[in-house]
Amino acid sequence: MSVKQSLLAILDQGACYGYQLRAEFDRRTGGTWPLNVGQIYNTLERLERDGLAARGETDDEGHVFWSITGAGRDAVAEWLGSPVPSAKGTRDELAIKLALAATLPGVDLAGVIQTQRRASLTRLGELNRAKYAGAHPDSAEELAWSLVVDSMIFQAEAEVRWLDHTEQRLAMRPVAPLPLDEALPARGRAAERRAAVKGASA
């Protein structure tokens, strides 16, 4: 997620100070991606350095207001009009955990999958209950929050389906654990494999 572009998009509505930006971001995303104030002020300083935001007046309470520049408005328009690029390869902790577990001796892989499935189903239930608790469909704030929750629900559902698929695949084709490779890897071999994986997923 681009904190920089998100804060710029909020500033495009009007000048804000740091705590106000954090409150607006939380209000528009249901607090599903918490930002700390230090992160916000660091981002604002980078935006100022890059000519995308400008430090403005300080009010009687000491709040420094920041505003967007013309270049910042162009950056927001470009961000909103561009697709979010897909990550190359995976840094998904669950996928890496199961991939490793499948290669290790003495691991109850079915148990690992079942434990994760229970947790994923619990999370899915919590998200569905949160979505339908006190919904106000006519509220822009509620709509923004529900869009984020819907995305989390779809991700949780996909995770459960992937766990089911993994369990079926392993049941049909169990594999022996991988022993340690006694041969020292040739220089650059790991990098070449990573490049091949990234190329296949691009």
Centroid of chain to Cα 104: 29
Final residue of a structural domain among 80, 112, 129 = 80
- What's the CATH code of the domain at 45? 1.10.10.10
Rounded CA separation 76/7 (Å): 9
Tell me how many domains the chain contains.
2
In this structure, how many other beta carbons lie within 10 angstroms of the beta carbon of residue 21? 21
Local structure of 2: helix, strand or coil? coil
Beta-bridge mates of residue 16: 66
3-state helix, strand, coil in the chain (%, to 5): 60, 5, 35
Q: Which residues contact 36 (CB under 8 A, 6 or more apart)?
A: 22
- Biggest alpha carbon–alpha carbon distance for the chain: 70
Centroid of chain to Cα 146: 16
- Which pTM does this prediction carry? 0.65
Q: Which residues contact 114 (CB under 8 A, 6 or more apart)?
A: none
* pLDDT tens, N- to C-terminus, the chain (202 residues): 588 999 999 999 999 999 999 999 888 887 777 888 899 999 999 999 999 999 998 998 999 999 999 999 999 999 998 887 776 766 788 988 888 888 888 888 899 999 999 999 999 999 888 877 755 556 777 787 788 889 989 999 999 999 999 999 988 887 778 787 778 777 665 555 666 665 655 5
Residue 195 lies in a domain: no
Domain coverage including residue 64: 3-80
Verify that 11 and 72 share a domain, yes or no.
Answer: yes
